[in-house]
Amino acid sequence: MAAPGTHAHFREEIDIEQRRQHVAYLLMHHLTYKEMAAEIGCSVGTVAGDVKAVREAWAERSIEDYDSWVAEEIAKLDQLERKVLPVALTGGKHGPDGEPRPSLFAVDRVLTIMERRAKLKGLDRPMRHEVAKTIEYTRNLDAEIEELLSNADRGGD
């Protein structure tokens, strides 16, 4: 390995990146590690390390892409809600008392938008509640029940 910051070091990094691009291409074409190593002219261990790095990069990129997509979708939903909410609240019509009458169709649309936003944010997932019951608590409870039952049998308090 060349010393960091040197021309040789940068050349090695470029070579590694080019080899990993080639490995990614071969991986997409379902070659085995052994076939990739023969094609590239390196060891199977090098290919295994490159495949790991390629998959990690793909996973990171897919998370970033997904997060960007979710943010874009939420922005669209926010924009739609800003347009539909006033119609849902007032409906553009007034009742006999002069009060604005909501549009039930628009209310339904706003609720649909809110549900979609909640799903995208993961707010619709069931909440997990952990219930912890210690053995000591159970033993104490059993002892108290036994004592109450024996007192009841004796007619005592």
User: Does position 157 have pLDDT exceeding 60, yes or no?
Assistant: no
Give Cα 84 distance to the centre of its chain.
Answer: 28
Residues 6+ apart with CB under 8 A from 27: 36, 51, 54
User: Does position 53 have pLDDT exceeding 60, yes or no?
Assistant: yes
User: Does position 24 have pLDDT exceeding 80, yes or no?
Assistant: yes
118-133 per-position pLDDT tens digit: 998 888 777 665 555 5
pTM more than 0.85: no
63-93 per-position pLDDT tens digit: 888 889 899 999 999 999 999 998 888 876 7
